[in-house]
Amino acid sequence: MRSANPIPKKKNAPPPPSIQERKGVGFKTATNRSIYPRGVPVAIEGIQAEGKRATAGLIMTTEGDPSLSAKVLQLVLLSTYWGMQIWVTFISSFVMDSHLNRHTFGLIQSRLVPFYLHLGSLCAFLNLTLFAVYHPADLLDDREAFQIGVYFLCVSVAAVNAQWFGQMTSEIMADMHLMEQAQGLGQDIGLSTNREAYAKLCETDGRYRRLSGRLWLYRLLSSLCNICCITCNAYSLYYLAENLTSL
């Protein structure tokens, strides 16, 4: 005789999902915020947001907002190089030429100019490095790209002048001074005095004539390089002044 309330049969429990099923249906792992105690997910999200803000701030500082020390350093380097150029090119040369004899003037120039050229090359290289660090190539606009090109041109020309033209000028001048001393020349004040004696030495001595021609060529090339660097630094100062917010 059948019971009035039959006992229902137990259904078999479904098998656990496989790894593929977990990936396909979005199986809940330990990363689900519902398994954490109350308040923990909010704290984790806050830490992640703070880390993202710190990273973004670091990138912004590196790319477009240099520190005050970097600004001061670039200003010091650029003004130092510019001041040396004005002093050596337009002031000291004319003062020494009008007060010193030919050989003393040449001796001072042979010691002063190489130091000036190498120090200028260093200043130009550090200016380029500072500007490139805070202006990544993929974020440059047209003005910044032109400015970094100006810095690169100044570094290249200054390095060539320091390593080649300026060095050759000093060496040729030293050889010519020895030949002039043998003829009793070189004690006259100024480079424009007693030209007849030096012209006669060029006519009678072929080696002195060749050295004189090479000296004129290297002086011309060195002067052109110096003028190029002066122009580059003048534009860099203009660019720097243009980007100042106030005095």
Tens digits of per-residue pLDDT, 14-52? 555 555 455 444 444 444 444 445 544 444 455 455 555
Q: Is the pLDDT of residue 232 over 60?
A: yes
Q: Report helix, strand and coil shares of the chain as percent, to nearest 5.
A: 75, 0, 25
Cβ atoms of 133 and 238 within 8 Å: the answer is no
Confidence of residue 5 (pLDDT cuts 50, 70, 90): low
Tell me, what's the pLDDT at 6? 52
The type of residue at 183 is Q
CA distance linking residue 153 with residue 88, whole number of Å: 21
Select the more confidently predicted residue: 97 or 37. 97
Give per-residue pLDDT as tens, 178-228.
998 888 888 888 766 778 888 888 888 889 999 999 999 999 999 999 999
**What radius of gyration, in Å, describes the C-alpha atoms of the chain?**
37
Q: In angstroms, what CA-CA distances link 33 with 24, 25, 27?
A: 20, 18, 13
Instruction: Indicate whether this model's pTM tops 0.85.
Output: no
Q: Is the pLDDT of residue 3 over 50?
A: no
Give per-residue pLDDT as tens, 126-159.
999 999 999 888 888 899 999 999 999 999 999 9
Select the more confidently predicted residue: 235 or 55. 235
Per-position b or e across 209-246, b if 16+ CB within 10 A of its CB: eebbebbeebbebbeebbebbbebbeebeebeeeeeee
Instruction: Give 24's contacts (C-beta < 8 A, 6+ positions apart).
Output: none
Tell me, what's the pLDDT at 43? 47
Tell me, what's the pLDDT at 53? 52
Neighbouring-strand partners of residue 101: 189
Encoded tokens for 187 = 């004690």
Least confident range from 1-5, 81-85, 192-196: namely 1-5
Tell me, what's the pLDDT at 151? 96
